[in-house]
């Protein structure tokens, strides 16, 4: 039986085991997907364990997406450019790193029917997640503006991929086809990094946070008339691409989404009661 899993710290909240195991069962694949909590100081030993135990592949989440790159045999050019690996595939003892986060963003936007070529897209935040988002937007031909509290980080991101950078304090001047929230603000809280008045300047709003599923950012965007895209779509699409890389099988995307959604809604009901 093959073994796959996700490494992170913490990792108990991850929906990846739910998604992947549902898909493995559905397709009758003799494999299991687990969650492995790995402290930063244990990362090198954990990757050695992948080789020694013949683990077939890993999803990589925070805080390991950059650090794991030092311990791999090969990294694809896209992951190198983004500067982060979220997927490790064991190819007969050689560990190959790639990045499917940007594909999760791209497919979420395409599914929403967006045509972004030549259109302005505004990104809030300039951390690791923002790099995958900006890369995806540029691949779709969008003109990108990045707003961040620390403007120097936004400027670095704009230089790396092409775009313009502004301090978050100037977000009220932002406008375009879509605004994408990439920070952790709103994660398990009722906060939003932007004032609700901003949404009148956009047609679409996307949040990569998926706990809660309807963040304050998305609720206020919808109230202003924006079409909204939640973070669960990105999670599922990047996970589906990982599943394809791990198993060679076409992923049952809708089933993976429903499995993750069921667990997420159950957690939200538990918190509300």
Asked whether the beta carbons of 106 and 136 are under 8 A apart, the reply is yes
Record the tokens describing residue 183, joined without a space. 């920070």
Record the tokens describing residue 86, joined without a space. 């979220």
Single out the catalytic residue among 65, 106, 227, 267: 65
Instruction: Please state whether the peptide bond connecting residue 10 to the residue before it is cis, i.e. omega within 30 degrees of 0.
Output: yes
65 is catalytic: yes
Residues 6+ apart with CB under 8 A from 230: 206, 207, 210, 213, 214, 215, 218
Asked whether the beta carbons of 149 and 168 are under 8 A apart, the reply is yes
Exposed/middle/buried for 140, CB within 10 Å: 0-12, 13-18, 19+?
A: middle
What is the C-alpha to C-alpha distance for residues 42 and 79, in angstroms, rounded to an integer? 22
Segments in 83-139 forming alpha helices (H): 101-111, 128-139
What is the C-alpha to C-alpha distance for residues 228 and 77, in angstroms, rounded to an integer? 31
Which positions are annotated as active-site residues?
65
């Amino acid at each position: 039986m093959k073994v796959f899993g996700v490494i992170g710290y913490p990792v108990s909240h991850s929906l990846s085991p739910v998604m992947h195991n549902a898909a493995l069962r559905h397709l009758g694949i003799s494999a299991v997907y687990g969650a492995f909590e790995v402290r930063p100081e244990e990362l090198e030993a954990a990757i050695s364990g992948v080789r020694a135990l013949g683990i077939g592949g890993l999803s990589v989440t925070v805080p390991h997406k950059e650090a794991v790159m030092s311990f791999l045999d090969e990294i694809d050019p896209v992951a190198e450019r983004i500067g982060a690996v979220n997927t490790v595939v064991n190819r007969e003892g050689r560990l190959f790193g790639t990045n499917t986060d940007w594909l999760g963003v791209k497919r979420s936007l395409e599914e929403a029917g967006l045509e972004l070529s030549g259109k302005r897209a505004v990104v809030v935040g300039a951390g690791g997640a923002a790099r995958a988002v900006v890369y995806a937007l540029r691949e779709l031909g969008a003109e990108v503006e990045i707003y961040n509290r620390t403007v120097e980080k936004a400027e670095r991101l704009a230089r790396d991929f092409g775009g313009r950078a502004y301090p978050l304090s100037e977000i009220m001047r932002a406008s375009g086809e879509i605004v994408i929230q990439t920070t952790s603000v709103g994660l398990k809280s009722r906060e939003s990094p932007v004032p609700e008045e901003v949404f009148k300047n956009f047609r679409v709003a996307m949040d990569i946070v998926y706990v809660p599923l309807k963040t304050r950012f998305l609720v206020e965007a919808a109230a202003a008339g924006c079409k909204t895209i939640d973070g669960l779509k990105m999670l599922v699409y990047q996970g589906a691409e990982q599943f394809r890389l791990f198993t060679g099988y076409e992923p049952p995307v809708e089933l993976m989404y429903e499995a993750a959604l069921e667990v997420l809604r159950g957690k939200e009901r538990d918190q509300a009661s």
